[in-house]
Homo-oligomer: A and B are copies of this chain.
């Protein structure tokens, strides 16, 4: 399968650690199995929410290879790096290990349209034009603003660009614009999967997204929302989505959000510990109790939240 026709949910995988900060292989396996059972169509590892910058090179590759071997579905590997030498090294190793493609976020020094387009051109030169890649478009974190026209230029200039991890905010009109480019023939089709913790997944699907590419602690719910939306069951999709929105919003907070995600995944039995590597701390007792309360409210309508 080519990633440019990917649909459904590519889960952004966290990296499970033991309480002492070592990588927890058993939890990686359990988590990978859970994603498959949940109906995910793909997995993305080594993203920001996978704490990729906190891993050393050997750890990063080992995690990617482990998930790839076990997943039974396409795995995208984040290769964002401060320089092209490190990016190339990880990209080639990941592809050799069986990755379906790589994901590249822009460095926060880029400002102009030309700089952004030029960066992706140089990245493709570095990793090789044979490596399928995903654009990560997340201005809130990376401080780089890509217009629809810039994304189109990257897509048209680079045949190996296969997917957009869309997480601009506000971002609904960007999906409409890109799908409009496809309709008017000025841009070939790519897969658009949306992130930003699914905060707008309900309407993103209606605007033309192919699915989700995020790591909300109930990826099984994301799978259902995407499916309901694709089936045209609008009210049901929104009903399910809205039941989770209070927690989605809580988990979407930069900083503590990842701790929330890991805490719920631990409570759900998917990973053994909610430890984050530094920098990045634990949830306060009051924050945990707030998450517990939100889970209890979701559980009234979604049995998965009875944890």
Contacts and interface: CB of A to CB of B under 8 A. Distances in A.
A243 to B, nearest CB: 9
Contacts of A246: 202, 238, 242, 245
Chain A residues touching B, range: 35 or more
B53 A83 contact: yes
Interface in A11-69: 51, 53-57, 59
Given A53-B83, A56-B89, A290-B203, A245 B256 contact: no
A185 interface: no
Contacts of A111: 111, 145
A173 B83 contact: no
Contacts of A108: 108
A94 B176 CA distance: 43
A83 to B, nearest CB: 4
A85 B55 contact: yes
A113 interface: yes
Nearest to A199: B249
B279 A122 contact: yes
Contact of A173 (B147, B202, B249, B287): B287
B279 A170 contact: no
Contacts of A277: 83-85
Interface string A159-185: 000000000011011001000000000
B85 A56 contact: yes
A114 interface: yes
30 contacts: A53-B82, A53-B83, A54-B83, A54-B85, A56-B85, A56-B89, A59-B85, A82-B82, A83-B277, A84-B278, A85-B277, A108-B108, A112-B146, A113-B113, A114-B147, A122-B279, A169-B253, A170-B253, A170-B256, A170-B257, A172-B290, A173-B256, A173-B284, A173-B287, A176-B284, A199-B249, A203-B290, A206-B290, A242-B245, A242-B246
A305 interface: no
B278 A122 contact: yes
Given A122-B278, A170-B256, A173-B284, 19 more contacts: A53-B83, A55-B86, A56-B85, A57-B86, A59-B85, A83-B277, A85-B277, A108-B108, A112-B113, A112-B145, A112-B146, A113-B147, A114-B147, A170-B257, A172-B287, A200-B249, A202-B246, A238-B246, A242-B242
Interface string A268-295: 0000000001110000101100100000
Interface string A87-123: 0010000000000000000001001111000110010
